[in-house]
Structure 1
Amino acid sequence: MELWPWLTAALLLLLLLVQLSRTARFYAKVGLYCVLCVSFSAVASIVCLLRHGGRTVENMSIISWFVRSFKYVYGLRFEVTGRSKLDVDGPCVIISNHQSILDMIGLMEILPKRCVQIAKRELLFTGPVGLIMYLGGVYFINRQRARTAMTVMSDLGDLMVKDNLKVWIYPEGTRNDNGDLLPFKKGAFYLAIQAQVPIIPVVYSSFSSFYNVKTRLFTSGTIRVQVLDAVPTNGLTDADVTQLVDTCYQSMRDAFLQLSKTPQENSDVNEPAIVPAQ
């Protein structure tokens, strides 16, 4: 029995559904994103192994080149302010808000040199994706074992100073698309104080106008990115962590809410009030 007519019919039906149904388009685009991640990770792994021979932060420039190409497939644009603030000579901890699977594209769009990420250990076992993360120098922590995670973070604090590394962490700890920021976990801040390195907050505007899991929306869109001023930790101790968390959280939340406003909302805020003539 010939399968080609059935396969052709199934493909045509899928294309029709994608055209007619927003839900179908959403899942088709998410599926394509997963396929791109797996296939590009496999190719990038080969390039990294041929270029550098194994696990090294230098592979991140190769990974970044591959991932940044995703934005052209999905029609995403980035408007970045303060990018130069990431070009510090020494080590630092970079923190940013965490919204969806698209965060990886945003991260790679502005990734500075010699920067590694912290990721949950489960991602290490995701085939080519886990392999490319390992080759790029990503540090994996087991969130189910607090003591093990603390040991990894402590070792990383020494290593980032020794090897002049920047470390990128999502302090919310999980994806969040509720239109605000979740409370921050303290690991990134303990790490910065231990190493006595500055914290650089990075804020991405809300994706909700073009990517929304609840409403099955996935279209092209513009992402506004703002790199905030570095927060020094020189002289701080563990006793200062709570205040440090509060300071970073408030500045990032203010920036997030401002960036996520529509241009019309921003113009309404900035427009001076009209005072009636007396």
Structure 2
Amino acid sequence: MAALALAEDGDTDITSAVTIAADLDGAEGFIEYRSGGVLAGNAWADAVARACDCGIDWQAAEGQVLPAGATVAVVRGSLTRLLRAERPLLNLLQRASGIATATRSYVGAVAGTPCRILHTRKTAPGLRALDIAAVLAGGGARHRTGLSHEVMVKDNHWRALRRTEGGLAAGLADARARGVTSLQVEVESVEQMEEAIAAGATRLLIDNQTPQILRDWAGRARGLRAGIEIEATGGLTLETVRSYAEAGADFVSIGALTHSVRAADLALEIRN
């Protein structure tokens, strides 16, 4: 990722070439967290710095909550190399820290309940590992990271199942035979919910329903099988998420954490 980020800037920094007469060793850049929030993306910033032959001395840890104006790191190297590292390094830190800060807000909104905040696969292409690490740094929990290790039956799969012999029960039985233990099924009606439970689903995804409906469905589901997990998803906001947690959701997945991230404000100031 660091190599790709640097490659986007090309091979030559023409501005540094015409403004810096002789490269200056021993330059220092201070990374300031202007907006304040949760710090994330340290490992990716490290990778950019290494690729530019710079070093980073971190003043704050991944996942730490920092006030506005805090110095999070000192970057050292030649002046031209610091300037080459500056934007790719900050881009990754700003995105990750914005995600982590938003996640921390959601985690705080459900504090005191058993509900966990989850990421989704609605991540930036090529940046999924960064985005997920940022959610974890903000106190969120891990959801599936790809298509290969968990079953998640959604609306389009339900449509396909109408033309599949054995339907959902056969599909989940096949998954169990392949060694898959996480069998998640999105349900849009009580009938689908009952079919999913009978087929052996381990988690029900209740999408775009009110907290009142979720409470009713969760009660019915747990009456049919104690211990089945309930996940709320679909358009939940910081203002509404607690009502779903209190209605009985074990998990809430928030796509906006990564698909609509507001970058944190960090800057690099070179002082010598």
Please indicate, yes or no, whether the TM-score normalized by the shorter chain is above 0.5. no
Higher strand fraction (1 or 2): 2
Q: Which has the larger radius of gyration?
A: 2
